[in-house]
Amino acid sequence: MWFSFWRSRDRFSLDHLRYLTDQLTKVQIVNDVNKDFVIEALRSIAELITYGDQHDPTFFEFFMEKQVVGDFVRILKLSKSISIPLQLLQTVSIMIQNLRSEHAIYYMFSNEHMNYLITYSFDFRNEELLSYYISFLRAISGKLNKNTISLLVKTRNEEVVSFPLYVEAIRFAFHEENMVRTAVRTVTLNVYHVGDEFVNRYITSTPRTEHFSNLVSFFRNQCMDLYRLVSETLKNPGSDSTSAITAVVDEIEDNLYYFSDVISAGIPDVGRLITDSILMLLMFPLLLPSLRIVDTNDMQSGVVTSLYLLCCILRIVKIKDLANTIVAALFYPSETFTKFSRGQVNGYASDCGFTSVSQKPDDNSAECKAEYLTVDVPNSSSSSGLYPESVMSENNCSRSNLALREVLLAYVTKGDDVQVLGSLSVLATLLQTKELDESMLDKLGILPQRKQHKNQLLQALVGEASGEEQLFSSENSSMRDSIGCELNTYLEKIKELYGLSYLCSDLVTSPRVPRFQVLDALVSLFCRSNISAETLWVGGWLLRQLLPYSEAEFNSHHLELLQVSYKNSATALVKEVRGFWPDLLITVLCNEWKNCKRAMESSYPPKEPKCVLFPTQILSSEEDTPEGSSFAAGERMHELAKLMLYPVELLSRGAKSAIFHF
């Protein structure tokens, strides 16, 4: 009999659960004497409820009957020790995460107990407690659906007036600890993807809308950190600076992917809020002004960083209005946005309240508004070509009347290797941005020829104009009107929403002019001797996208430039291999030709935009080769082989014949 009395209680039994809950009910004060028992009781109850949910429903029925969650809240109020809130948050988190029964989740979220714990005044100076609290919020958000979310909100007249889970979570959206920020993003995405109409209206109403502008402000601060790092790296290159840039780039891309995930939830107005914030806080005052041509070498870091960020935003953030507005802004002169920024644009100084990435964005930073600007824009598209001499002369390197689109082409023809790669990356990214209207691409001069022919054929088939006019007219009025109308739409939006007025008497020019400008710039690039082969391959890839089937738009000047490029690179290669590499030359040419062909025919550019942030040294002459380094000499020989092969590969068979015949 005594043996049976002292027999240990089965750990995973209803009797043990009953014992633990009875003991918790008797606790009237939590002190050093009973603290350890309370902690162990809370931990054991979490284990028992999780076990019972999977094996015996009577466990949770007893848990509900005794209203144990109410005892949890009571114990929290009695506690003065930090260890009790830690264990309580862990207990509730474990239970919520592991409960499979929908009925059990309904009970946990009812009776306002969860909202009480969410809004409880925990001492977040303790980092461990904050970590447990954020995990608790994430556990709750993981169980949200259109039914359970209604248990966590308060409504009045069928409108949500309070949602503690969301409001408390976004308080930590800009915490200095990356793990906390990541967990908060998970919570918000779980809320957004529920798709509850009333909750969505609450999220997109004042003052919650400030969260989206604050997100962009925080992202802008990260961009400013990247500007600083790139600038410092150019002055003091080293492995540490490279790893620091890589870390910031990863964070920047993670933020943009988060924006993309938020937009994919399909909440009305969220895309507009993010678009407005990106344009007003980042694009107009910082990125676009930084693209202007400058003489100072110290400010070139701002150019390449802006080119990378522009590519990154277009590639990741899938918003049609954002992409088309950015393209429309490229038709403004750079001086427009220099005035908009009211600060140093090619460096990293600005007066819009940039702070360290670890600091919470200033709420007033979202109010950095544009002044209403009226800009006279000369008709710079009237020329039939865009050559280095006409775009960026030696004595006039900071022409403010150039449209930003022309500035990009100017970097292609006269910029250094990283500026060329950055500009080509922007053009390639625009070409691959599905959210852009094809008419906008055509106005930029980068609409692939096959798409032009397809559009003309479709218009001819539906009878918008005579087939002969649509397919063969070089000055297609219908296409021109369509292009001008689409571009005008976004120019008007920029004027109405952001206060930037575009005045031009002849905005819509021949659709062939921008295309010839791009072709002229690309072909001129191939004649440059101070550009790496890999960068030239990106230009070749872009040219192949524009002219995939024929070289009909190549004039004699284009072919002459390509012939000169081929002849010069072949001569340099012969000089390099004479006496040193003759037995290796055929192997190198075969391998590099395969690589070149693969790069030209790929669906994506040969180099990623982030490569502009990590420039490589170009070994183009013997003077560049370290003395006695056979490896460096071999690298130079490979580089010269690439330079010879790309003009051969980027054209069709007819053009190749023309080159070799020359």
pLDDT of residue 546: 82
Does a structural domain hold residue 263? yes
pLDDT of residue 588: 66
Does a structural domain hold residue 649? no
Does a structural domain hold residue 317? yes
What mean pLDDT is predicted for residues 379-383?
36
Does a structural domain hold residue 287? yes
Distance (Å, rounded) from C-alpha 562 to C-alpha 655?
Answer: 9
Closest CA relative to residue 267, chosen from 191, 173, 164, 206 = 191
Does a structural domain hold residue 109? no
Q: Which two tokens stand for residue 439?
A: 């008419």
Does a structural domain hold residue 141? no
Q: Which two tokens stand for residue 319?
A: 């918003």
Structural domain that includes position 448:
233-341+400-462+486-508
CA atoms within 13 A on the CB side of 200: 16
Q: Which two tokens stand for residue 589?
A: 């040419």
pLDDT of residue 207: 93
Instruction: Give the residue, 481 or 542, on which the prediction is more confident.
Output: 542
Does a structural domain hold residue 661? no
Contacts by residues 265-269 (CB-CB < 8 Å, ≥ 24 positions apart): 265/189, 265/192, 265/193, 265/195, 266/195, 267/192, 267/200, 267/203, 267/204, 268/200, 268/204, 269/204
Instruction: Give the residue, 619 or 101, on which the prediction is more confident.
Output: 101
**Does the pLDDT at position 512 exceed 60?**
yes
Work out the percent of the chain whose per-residue pLDDT is above 70.
66
Instruction: Report yes or no: 269 and 358 within 8 Å, Cβ to Cβ.
Output: no
**Does the pLDDT at position 525 exceed 80?**
yes
Q: Which two tokens stand for residue 316?
A: 């990741």
Task: List all residues 6 or more positions away from 421 whose beta carbon is below 8 Å from its beta carbon.
Answer: 535, 538, 607, 611, 612
Closest CA relative to residue 426, chosen from 253, 530, 305 = 305
Distance (Å, rounded) from C-alpha 128 to C-alpha 89?
Answer: 11
Of 220-229, 309-318, 328-337, 511-520, where does mean pLDDT reach its minimum?
511-520
Domain count along the chain: 1
**Does the pLDDT at position 551 exceed 60?**
no
Does a structural domain hold residue 422? yes
Total residues belonging to the chain = 662
Instruction: Give the residue, 205 or 583, on which the prediction is more confident.
Output: 205
Q: Is 240 exposed, middle or buried (0-12, 13-18, 19+ CB in 10 A)?
A: exposed
Q: What is the pLDDT of residues 173-225, one digit of tens each?
A: 999 999 999 999 999 999 999 999 999 999 999 999 999 999 999 999 999 99
Per-residue confidence band for 233, with pLDDT thresholds at 50, 70 and 90: confident
Per-residue confidence band for 268, with pLDDT thresholds at 50, 70 and 90: confident
Q: What is the pLDDT of residues 23-68, one digit of tens each?
A: 999 999 998 889 999 999 999 999 999 999 888 999 999 999 999 9
SS (HEC) of 527-552: CCCCCCHHHHHHHHHHHHHHCCCCCC
Q: What is the pLDDT of residues 438-491, one digit of tens each?
A: 889 988 889 886 666 566 565 666 655 444 444 444 444 444 444 457 888 898
Write out the H or E segment, with its range, that includes residue 154.
strand 154-156
Angle (CA) 611-612-617 rounded to 5° is 85
pTM of the predicted model, to two decimals? 0.81
Q: What are phi and psi of 531, to 5 degrees?
A: -115, 135
Q: Strand, coil or helix: what is 374?
A: strand
